[in-house]
Structure 1
């Protein structure tokens, strides 16, 4: 968990996350985003699951990958 928020916002706890860069595999995205948000280097041990969600009100489709 990381404490997130801009200097003017109330901070909230969240799981490190982010979006894919052009052509980036999910595993590489996970490693990069974790490093950007925590400063720590990590190693992916295993894939856990994929979750799909559609935000119909804004016409956005999300594929969420979980890793250990």
Structure 2
């Protein structure tokens, strides 16, 4: 399935939310692994997850709306 069809099926808002949610979830999994390894980077990655979610959502929503 092409990405254009995927975006048309879901709409730009939902497609951007799905992609941003996946990206933030991946960062949270990395943060969990860093927490288990007692790394100080845990806090940095954990703090960046909401910022990543917002940035990915805004950028993808704009690009999906233009396409």
TM-score by length of 2: 0.29
Larger radius of gyration: 2
Q: Which has the higher strand share?
A: 1
